[in-house]
Amino acid sequence: MAEEAVFPESRATVYSTLAAGPAFRHEIEVKRSRFITVLQRTGDEDSARALVAGLRREFHDARHHCSAFVLGPDRDVQRSNDDGEPSGTAGIPMLDALLKRETAPGVTDLSDVTAVVVRYFGGILLGAGGLVRAYSESVSAALHRAPLVQRRRLRICTVSVPHAGAGRLENDLRAAGYVMAETAYEAQTTVLRLALPDHPADLARAGERLAALSAGTAALLPGGTEWIDVPLT
């Protein structure tokens, strides 16, 4: 599971990030130089820096290990590093590619992502403009191929039902389009957990729908909020 930093209550209630899982890799070649981009979901600066350190060890013979990362629902933490390339030709273009990645038409909300570009010099100087284009293109090309998800801050509500009827009710709730969090099992009941938009009207509608699906035998109990991964819409 991806590590997560503890941020203050954010203004944002939704943002996009990489799907949980191993780091995503993509490579391009520009005038015989190899640019290997590694993207990883990272929830804090320590995780981001650990990725860079690990890639330095893996690609110990490469000339540059340039990096950029953006963190937090409000994208408050932004860092970049040129790692020996001329100032402003690597890290900043990489960060710019992260910040400008559209996850929906007109929406740029990618966060909790670290990009590292490992460069093997091919013997041909690219010049400042060529480096900017190469590092930017390398990250952009990787991002367009990497799997993304939405992170939504949702209100977790619980529903306690007898074991015998839990499976049917859970299936009905899923079919109705509700996001289900992890189910818990107690001695006499199954506790279903629904992740709902944190708005009174949405909670009221969900309560009414639950009453209809359960013939009035189940009630919705609102709890705290959590960040939940959901497919990109």
Q: Which domain holds residue 114?
A: 15-146
- Looking at the structure, tell me whether residues 69 and 159 fall in a common domain: no
- Looking at the structure, tell me whether residues 81 and 124 fall in a common domain: yes
Task: Quote the DSSP letter at residue 107.
Answer: B
- Looking at the structure, tell me whether residues 164 and 137 fall in a common domain: no
8 inside domain: no
CB-count exposure of residue 99 (10 Å: 0-12, 13-18, 19+): middle
Of 224, 117, 126, whose CA–CA distance to 181 is shortest? 224
- Looking at the structure, tell me whether residues 142 and 154 fall in a common domain: no
Q: How confident is the model at residue 4 (pLDDT cuts 50, 70, 90)?
A: very low
Question: Where residue 137 sits, what CATH number does that domain have?
Answer: 3.30.230.30
Report residue 229 CA to chain centroid gap: 8
Distance of alpha carbon 97 from alpha carbon 135, whole angstroms: 9
Of 81-95, 123-137, 191-205, give the lowest mean pLDDT range. Answer: 191-205
- Looking at the structure, tell me whether residues 56 and 93 fall in a common domain: yes
- Looking at the structure, tell me whether residues 207 and 169 fall in a common domain: yes
Q: How confident is the model at residue 9 (pLDDT cuts 50, 70, 90)?
A: low
177 inside domain: yes
At residue 2, the pLDDT reads: 40
Q: Mind listing the pLDDT tens digit for each residue in 107-162?
A: 999 999 999 999 999 999 999 999 999 999 999 999 999 999 999 999 999 999 99
Q: How confident is the model at residue 5 (pLDDT cuts 50, 70, 90)?
A: very low
- Looking at the structure, tell me whether residues 190 and 132 fall in a common domain: no
Distance of alpha carbon 80 from alpha carbon 139, whole angstroms: 13
Distance of alpha carbon 176 from alpha carbon 178, whole angstroms: 6
Question: Where residue 217 sits, what CATH number does that domain have?
Answer: 3.30.70.240
Q: Please state whether the predicted TM-score (pTM) of the whole model is above 0.85.
A: no
Instruction: Specify the number of domains making up the chain.
Output: 2
Which of 111, 146, 181 represents a domain boundary (last residue)?
146
- Looking at the structure, tell me whether residues 186 and 95 fall in a common domain: no
- Looking at the structure, tell me whether residues 199 and 139 fall in a common domain: no
At residue 181, the pLDDT reads: 86
196 inside domain: yes
40 inside domain: yes
* DSSP H helix total and E strand total for the chain: 5, 11
Q: Mind listing the pLDDT tens digit for each residue in 41-84?
A: 999 999 999 999 999 999 999 999 999 999 999 999 999 999 99
**What DSSP letter does each residue of 153-206 carry, written as one string?**
EEEEEEEEEEHHHHHHHHHHHHHTTPEE---EE-SSEEEEEEEEESSHHHHHHH
At residue 41, the pLDDT reads: 98
167 inside domain: yes
- Looking at the structure, tell me whether residues 127 and 57 fall in a common domain: yes
Is the distance from CB of 4 to CB of 70 less than 8 angstroms? no
Q: Mind listing the pLDDT tens digit for each residue in 204-231?
A: 999 999 999 999 999 999 999 989 898 8
Distance of alpha carbon 136 from alpha carbon 12, whole angstroms: 26
Which value, to the nearest 10 degrees, does the dihedral of the CA atoms of residues 85, 89, 92, 95 take? -90
